[in-house]
Amino acid sequence: MNIDKDQILQLLRSQGDDAKAQQADQELPGQVDTERDAGLLSTLGIDPMDLVKKLGGGGGLGGALGGLLGKG
């Protein structure tokens, strides 16, 4: 699943983790593919599956499933 880097940065900052947000801003591409970039996300302390659960409502099938599961 593709997630915009800015969404990840906002999530990290909302959790009070400015240091990781700054590191993520430097290391992550603009569009983060949770499968392709799983290793990089892990080095930042981010579980790709948790990320999909928290930010997966970005549209497409993930957004539809998020709405069905009460995320919306």
List pLDDT tens digits, range 38-67. 999 998 888 988 888 888 755 444 444 444
Q: What is the pTM of this model?
A: 0.72
Q: Which two tokens stand for residue 61?
A: 């099938």
Q: Is the pLDDT of residue 15 over 80?
A: yes
Q: 28 — phi, psi (to 5°)?
A: -85, 145
Q: What is the dihedral of CA 64, 68, 71, 72, to 10 degrees?
A: 70
Cα torsion angle, 13, 31, 57, 38, sign: negative
pLDDT exceeds 50 at position 70: no
Predicted confidence at residue 30, as pLDDT, reads: 96
SS3 1: coil
Q: pLDDT tens digit string along 19-34?
A: 999 999 999 999 999 9
